């Protein structure tokens, strides 16, 4: 089974042209859009108990990009997933599958999951992974100043939803942002500000709409400097 999943993942790019068109739903700019609406397969997956053992096997198709450890890539191309709330992971996968979040490369993998149970299983496994001890951080010479500025901005606009320490909220589907890769955080913040990430929280869009790139960089630098809650991996990168 693992070999089949791995080969299927490797072949996904070559069969992309054979896939049906990616669906596209109205998102953040639609009056009828509710950010954390629990509907369709999303609500089904959220109600299911995920099987971590089965989820580990399914995760084989994710590890090519996000790595076996769930560490992602420090350059921001792929986010750190390990330890993220299962509810958040379920939302993002379901939104991508439904065409509410635009991520063509991820869509090719997400549609390989057979049903809501498999979404719940792989999400439960990812959440159970230990936290890689390092992540991509802001590396500018003004890091200390930028992180301090980011802390002020974070506490003003972000703390309400993402928590004092960036831990997020599993019940409200707010992701943990602590310890995420700086470049990934910045890229997503810019996409949300510009309205390109259609499944984002409208409140977040309103909160950062007036932030320039330097301000978003500062907030992202601060979030990346935080320690993600959870069990830290031993002897793993």
Q: Please report the pLDDT score of residue 31 as a whole number.
A: 67
62 vs 7, higher pLDDT: 62
- Rounded to whole angstroms, how far apart are CA atoms 215 and 193? 12
Angle at 119 between CA 117 and CA 122, to 5 degrees: 105
SS3 110: helix
| 34-43, 97-106, 172-181: the lowest-pLDDT one | 34-43
Average pLDDT over residues 187-216: 94
Q: Please report the pLDDT score of residue 69 as a whole number.
A: 96
3-class SS letters over 82-94 = CCCCHHHHHHHHH
Average pLDDT over residues 5-22: 51
Structure tokens at 59: 């995760």
User: At residue 11, does pLDDT exceed 70?
Assistant: no
How much of the chain exceeds pLDDT 90, in percent?
A: 78
Q: What is the DSSP string of 44-89?
A: HHHHSPP-HHHHHHHTHHHHHHH-TTS---TTSSS---TT--HHHH
The answer to whether the CB of 198 falls within 8 A of the CB of 102 is yes
For the chain, the C-alpha Rg in angstroms (whole number) is 17
| 37-46, 62-71, 78-87, 114-123: the lowest-pLDDT one | 37-46
DSSP label at residue 171: T
187 vs 32, higher pLDDT: 187
Q: What are phi and psi for residue 107, nearest 5 degrees?
A: -60, -40
Domains of the chain: 2-13+20-128 (1.10.760.10), 143-225 (1.10.760.10)
Q: What is the DSSP string of 13-27?
A: TTTGGGSPPPP----
The answer to whether the CB of 201 falls within 8 A of the CB of 35 is yes
User: At residue 96, does pLDDT exceed 90?
Assistant: yes
pTM for this predicted structure: 0.89
| Residue 46 pLDDT level (bands cut at 50, 70, 90) | very high
User: At residue 7, does pLDDT exceed 70?
Assistant: no
7 vs 90, higher pLDDT: 90
145 vs 100, higher pLDDT: 145
Q: Please report the pLDDT score of residue 25 as a whole number.
A: 81
Helices (H) and strands (E) in the chain, counts: 12, 0
Average pLDDT over residues 137-148: 98
The answer to whether the CB of 129 falls within 8 A of the CB of 176 is no
The answer to whether the CB of 76 falls within 8 A of the CB of 136 is yes
- Rounded to whole angstroms, how far apart are CA atoms 26 and 50? 29
């Amino acid at each position: 089974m693992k070999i089949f999943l791995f080969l299927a993942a490797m072949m996904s790019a070559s069969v992309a042209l054979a896939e049906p068109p990616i669906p596209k739903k109205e998102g953040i700019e639609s009056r009828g859009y509710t950010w954390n609406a629990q509907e369709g397969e999303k609500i089904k997956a959220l109600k299911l108990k995920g099987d971590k053992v089965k989820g580990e096997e399914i995760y084989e198709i994710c590890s090519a990009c996000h790595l076996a450890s769930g560490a992602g890539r420090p350059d921001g191309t792929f986010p750190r997933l390990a330890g993220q709330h299962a509810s958040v992971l379920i939302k993002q996968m379901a939104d991508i599958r439904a065409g509410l979040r635009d991520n063509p490369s991820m869509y090719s993998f997400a549609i390989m999951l057979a049903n809501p149970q498999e979404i719940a299983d792989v999400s439960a496994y990812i959440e159970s992974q230990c936290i890689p001890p390092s992540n991509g951080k802001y590396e500018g010479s003004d890091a200390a100043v930028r992180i301090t500025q980011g802390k002020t901005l974070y506490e003003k606009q972000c703390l309400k939803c993402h928590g004092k320490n960036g831990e997020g909220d599993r019940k409200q589907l707010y992701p943990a942002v602590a310890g995420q890769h700086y470049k990934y955080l910045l890229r997503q913040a810019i996409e949300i500000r510009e309205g390109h990430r259609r499944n984002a929280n409208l409140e977040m869009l309103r909160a950062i709409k007036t932030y320039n790139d330097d301000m978003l960089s500062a907030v992202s630098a601060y979030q990346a400097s935080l320690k993600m809650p959870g069990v830290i991996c031993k002897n793993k990168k």
